[in-house]
Amino acid sequence: MKETEVAVSGTTTAASTAPNTEMDKRFDPAAYEQVWQRRWAEKEYFRAEAPAERPSFCIMIPPPNVTGKLHVGHALQSTLQDLLTRWRRMQGYNALWLPGTDHAGIATQLMVERQLESEGTSRREIGRERFLERMWQWKQEYHGNIRRQLDLLGASCDWTRERFTLDAGLSRAVREAFVRLYREGLITRGEYMVNWSPKLGTAVSDLEVEARTVQGKLYHVAYDVEGGEGSGERIVVATTRPETMLGDTAVALHPEDERYAHLHGKAAILPLVGRRLPFVADEMVDREFGTGLVKITPFHDPNDFEMGKRHDLPGISVIGPDGRMTAEAGPDFAGLDRFEARRKVVERLREEGYLVKVEEHTHNVGHSQRSGEPIEPLVSTQWFCDMTSMAAGALAAVRDGHTELVPDSWDKTWEHWLTNIRPWCISRQLWWGHQIPAWYTEDGRCFVAHSAEEAAGEAGTDRLTQDPDVLDTWFSSALWPFSTLGWPDDTPDLRTFYPTDVMVTGFDILFFWVARMVMTGLHFTGEVPFRKVHLTGLVRDAEGQKMSKTKGNVLDPTELVSEYGADALRFTLASLDSPGRDIPLNPNQIAGYRAFGNKIWNAARFALSRIPEGARVRESIDPAGLAAPERWILSRLSRVAMEVNEQLEIFRFDEACNRLYHFFWGDFCDWYLELSKPALFGDAPRPRVGDVLLTVLDRALRLLHPVMPFLTEELWQRLPGHEAIHPETICLAPYPRREEAWEDAAVEAGMEALTQVVTRVRALRTEMSLSPKAKLDLHLQPADARIGGLLQEQAPLLRFLARVETAAVGPVPEGARRDLVAGVEIGVAVEKAEMGAEERGRLAKELEKLDAEIGRAEARLSNADFLGKAPAHVVEGGRARLAEMRERQAALRASLGLA
RNA sequence: AGGCCCAUAGCUCAGUUGGUUAGAGCGCUACGUUGACAUCGUAGAGGUCAGCGGUUCAAGUCCGCUUGGGCCUACCA
């Protein structure tokens, strides 16, 4: 594997460490992302401890398949897992995000088989041993890719604890689990009907069968009734698979079907073959469907298999594991592919006059999820795991809340699936996987053991052959949360991190994987494997279409990272993760969040270039003695810190990102940085502006770090005084919390009024079609005296932000353009205040709407029921709003020159 | 066949226990090169919250039905 060397020397590194280096106006994620990832890895910041004094937090990665590269779905899930891990790590938890990969049985084997095919050979040809060597080569290569891709995304995994489902430790766990379940009688070997995939040459589990609706045909076939040769009585059965009739051994009818009452005890004669088929009565027959008579093929249909057992019917295998007709199908059909056989059987039936009619028929047919062909139900000897007792535990775990599904809309599906669970066919006729720990003696006795030696000991002979089959890949995945921590040994890791905290994965593997982990976790450890499951939606393209190679709309996370930067991609994915919804990923949106990154970059650049000498990041700041803008931004910061923590607790990544975005862009950049300018430039100095600015920036970066790890580290390192927060890295700096001492409702109200006044004045300028340079005098008359005081005090800031000549608190003079916002009456006096027709029209329209609304509000506020039943704050709010509207109405009428 | 979810601005989506004027991003329009940022700034237009009915003083939010879309689970030959 070619290793791309990253320049760790030169300007990029210097930029990352030296606070006073010139910052480029354009931010360039590529210049620092990989540098930081590498440094974090070298310093082992993400290595968790066991045992640990601190509380632990643990997430197990859903191990990506070693089949190829990561897709955007992985990027989404990795982002969320990393976000949670970084957040908890900063909160002081002993946080572990354990990485790893899955051998992915069939999927990977197919890739290598395809490779062999292109080399003109096959696995049979090179043999099991050499094939497995090739498999391991493949694994090495792709495993490296996955690590690289996770690094690109900024994943803070503890790579010292990396696991692979086929490594020694996990293989031991698999054998242990198998042996225990076998000894408990839950794993058995037997001959049953299984879902067989002829192309793959293996059995698959029910979950690997995908029902597809296909347009098929319903063939009505006449069978002669035995003894009716003279009378010529015939019955008609309906089938969608005429080729299976060659294996028929009975005809079923409903016990109470009067039409066929006379057939009880009789038999039919199978056309083309001549076999005698007894009639059996079974309630499962639907009298309404077809003719009410069903041909029974016990070895090629799951229902018929059951019925065969109930009525003790023999079965005949007419279709083999290769999907071709067997010798038992008779010389005319033996060797034919099952679909060819169907054509030929139909042809022969037609020729011989047994085909009554053919109807179009839409029905569901099970297809192999992996190979796409129709599944062939076959009787075969396989290993099965009885899940019913384990399912009961998993049901209880969700009902009792020991494991919580988020969103909980999946609870019902969980309930339904687990209450109807059937035995799990766990053996696969493959080579890539955990070989089944069962050994057979020459006389066919079976010994299940941890090793060949143990089996030999039990068998009393070492002339043993191990079962050639391997386990379903999901068997090892089912043990993942504890096998990765050293189970079956009682290791410090297991004691420290188990049960884990969260499982982040897609709902598509809820049953394949999540349910099975809960079942085995409870069974083997007595505890749920994770306390919460966050189920993500499916990442779709910008039009909401599923991504698929054939549609060509697949987005590659690696490309997205190189185009927009990992931080922008992460922010986008996190902010789109709303509960229970799929995720439409639009590159425009990623570009939007890259712009956010640029905004952060430039805000930091501005702060660093303008702060006074000696200003530093402070661990804490006493708001006493600070001016209103500083007290305001600290108060806002405290609230956003509180909200972000709250939202992350409940996995509302979208909401957390939203708060961060609006705080940084809106409160901090749009308002606070602007408000800080007069102070920073010496026009109107304020106490400790530099310290506040840096401290707010520091905390904002820390709040953002779990979502945008690279950019925040890069900038944070440049803040003077950041070492006081953490000597080395933002990754380990404390995650900001609410600071109640900073919260100040009065200042927030006052500053809210100030910003709204400024916005309103800007709007008035537009409304009055005034040039941005037109000279205005602003008069303010707030209803609340405290707000008045603040506005008075901040008049220079008002002048600066609203770009007015004068700003005064006091009565609004005659002739000024009036307005009202946030309880402040505004008067804008301008020399030429004549109103244009356009403006007049706009105001008239507004007045019209306002009149209607006032009418509605008045009606409501005079409604006795409303006054009696609505909570006080709603009524008061309504009154205040009405008063405001009336004032606005008066102002509008005055402006329009109405009485 | 059963179950679940969704329908809100041109697009993609928020809207937590019903409660004051339904929000964001992108896109669009106008203006703007003001001491960090044109990956920018300021302002603006744009919504009968799919439809119908019900509960309530009050419904995007709760209930029922209809329509349209998506998904999960299923052994009707």
- pLDDT for res A890: 82
DSSP A623: -
Closest protein residue to B18 using CA and C1' atoms?
A870
Q: Which of A477, A473, A495, A493 is nearest to A485 (CA)?
A: A493
- What's the confidence (pLDDT) of residue A253? 87
C-alpha pair distances (Å), A840 with each of A567, A847, A890, A893:
48, 10, 15, 11
Which nucleotide across the nucleic acid strands is nearest to A857, CA versus C1'? B20
A554-608 tens-digit pLDDT: 788 999 999 999 999 999 999 988 877 788 888 888 999 999 999 999 999 999 9
Examine the predicted complex and report whether its ipTM is higher than 0.90. yes
Q: What is the pLDDT of residue A896?
A: 77
Residues 6 or more apart whose Cβ sits within 8 Å of residue A899: A893
Whether nucleic acid strand B comes within 7 Å of the CB of A255, the answer is no
Please identify residues in chain A, positions 600-629, with a C-beta within 7 angstroms of any atom of strand B.
Answer: 602-603, 605-606, 609
Residues 640-679/A with CB < 7 A to strand B: 654-655, 658, 665, 669-670, 673-674, 677-678
The nucleotide minimizing the C1' distance to residue A543's CA is: B12
Query: pTM for the full model?
Result: 0.92
Pairing of strands A209-225, A267-269: antiparallel
- In the prediction, which pLDDT does A600 show? 95
User: Judging by DSSP bridges, how do beta strands A806-809 and A777-782 pair with one another?
Assistant: parallel
Phi, psi of A633 (to 5 degrees): -70, -35
Is the separation of the CB atoms in A49 and A503 below 8 Å?
A: no
Q: What pLDDT, on a 0 to 100 scale, did the predictor assign at position A531?
A: 93
Q: Which residue, counting CA atoms, is nearest to the C1' of nucleotide B6?
A: A581
**Nucleic strand B near CB of residue A598 (< 7 Å):** yes
Q: Which nucleotide is nearest to A295 (CA to C1')?
A: B77
Which residues of chain A fall below pLDDT 50?
1-20
Contact A246, A272 (CB under 8 A): yes
- pLDDT at residue number A282: 85
Helices (H), A63-122: 72-90, 105-118
**Which DSSP symbol is given to A142?**
H
Q: With 0-12 CB in 10 A as exposed, 13-18 as middle and 19+ as buried, what is A504?
A: buried
Nearest to A419 by CA among A390, A460, A448: A390
Tokens of A154: 């900024």
Please answer whether residues A77 and A506 qualify as being in contact, where contact means their C-beta atoms are separated by less than 8 angstroms: yes
Q: Which residue is nearest to nucleotide B21 (CA to C1')?
A: A881
Query: Does residue A855 reach within 7 angstroms of strand B, measured from its CB?
Result: no
- H or E segment to which residue A375 belongs: none
Strand B and A186 CB separated by under 7 Å: no
Calculate Rg over the CA atoms of chain A. 37
One-letter amino acid at A572 equals T
Please tell me whether residue A827 adopts helix, strand or coil conformation: strand
Total number of residues shown for chain A: 899
Q: Are A90 and A733 in contact (CB under 8 A)?
A: yes
Upper half-sphere CA count for residue A557 (Cβ side, 13 Å): 28
Q: How far is CA A219 from CA A291, A357, A548, in A?
A: 11, 6, 36
Between helix A709-716 and helix A689-704 the angle, nearest 10°, is 150
Beta strand pairing call for A56-60 and A94-98: parallel
Q: Does residue A282 reach within 7 angstroms of strand B, measured from its CB?
A: no
**Which alpha helices (H) appear in A279-380, and where do they start and end?**
302-310, 338-351
Cα–Cα dist A605/A599, whole Å: 10
The residue lying closest to nucleotide B70, measuring its CA against C1', is A582
Nucleotide closest to A211 measured between CA and C1' = B74
- Chain B positions within 7 A of any protein Cβ atom are 2-6, 11-15, 19-21, 24-27, 30-32, 34-44, 56-58, 70-77
Does strand B come within 7 Å of the CB of A878? yes
User: Furthest-apart CA pair in chain A: how many Å?
Assistant: 118
List pLDDT tens digits, range A429-458.
999 999 999 999 999 899 999 999 999 999
Give chain A residues 306-335 with Cβ within 7 A of strand B. none
Find the Cα–Cα–Cα–Cα dihedral A509, A511, A514, A520, rounded to 10°.
Answer: -140
- Predicted local confidence at residue A412, as pLDDT: 81
Measured from the CB, is A511 under 7 Å from any atom of strand B?
yes
CB A32 within 8 A of CB A11: no
So what's the pLDDT on residue A15? 44
Task: Report helix, strand and coil shares of chain A as percent, to nearest 5.
Answer: 50, 20, 35
What pLDDT sits at residue A835?
A: 67
